[in-house]
A and B are shown apart, each in its own frame.
Chain A
């Protein structure tokens, strides 16, 4: 018989506070506060009520809440209009909706996730101080 892949979504409710490292084989939805590291083979959804200080790596990441930390989507990252991301973003495919807030370095494309860890982005460690626009 073929191996069954988990299809259920693990949900961390809005009242949850979690500190540490989490790994998922399937999908997960964060609605509460999370601090630490998230690794997933499936999709991670950061819900509208979520506040994460986390390094997130998953096949697919949907940010609909607040994330402070680096996000890597091996396949796709989506920032909704409600998203607030302060950190570096690496993805094979990126979709950002109008209204999303994003401060950090960004690398997107088929090669972006492969080169992960070997570029200057690693040095940036999240958002760097905001530069003032060139006005001459």
Chain B
């Protein structure tokens, strides 16, 4: 019997923007074009995180009690904020700012969804960002 082909998904490198397929279960890979390490799994933030960069080819979900303070936040697929995001710049496929979320920082995205009740303290938005 033929072996089942593992489920794949297409990701985009956040360094060189090369698109390639990875196993759906992969957490980190090296980009075949630029050879740099990439995080491809979804990141769920439930508490406070202060980092310089938070980058993934997947989604970044900041839950209600989650708070991210970072210079750069990249969720190549999406960034969904239900808690607090404070950054110099965020880049994503789609940005979702949910009703009780707080956002501070510049936003470059292919599309953005802001729901009633969300707070945006400050930020320069470029939507759609054609460089993404």
Residue positions of A touching B, CB distance < 8 A: 76, 93-109, 112, 119, 121, 124, 128, 130-136
Contact = CB atoms under 8 A, between A and B. Distances in A.
A103 B122 contact: no
Given A133-B108, A133-B129, A105 B114 contact: no
Contact of A133 (B89, B94, B122, B125): B89
B91 A103 contact: no
Interface residues of B, number: 28
B124 A131 contact: yes
A132 B131 contact: yes
A107 B114 CA distance: 12
A98 B113 contact: yes
Given A106-B122, A124-B124, 13 more contacts: A76-B116, A94-B116, A94-B118, A100-B111, A100-B112, A102-B127, A103-B127, A105-B124, A121-B122, A130-B126, A131-B106, A132-B131, A134-B89
Interface of B: 15, 72, 89, 91, 94, 106, 108, 111-129, 131-132
A112 B106 CA distance: 17
Nearest to B88: A134
A122 to B, nearest CB: 13
A40 B77 CA distance: 39
Contacts of A109: 119-121
B125 A104 contact: yes
A105 B94 CA distance: 18
Contacts of B114: 94-96, 108
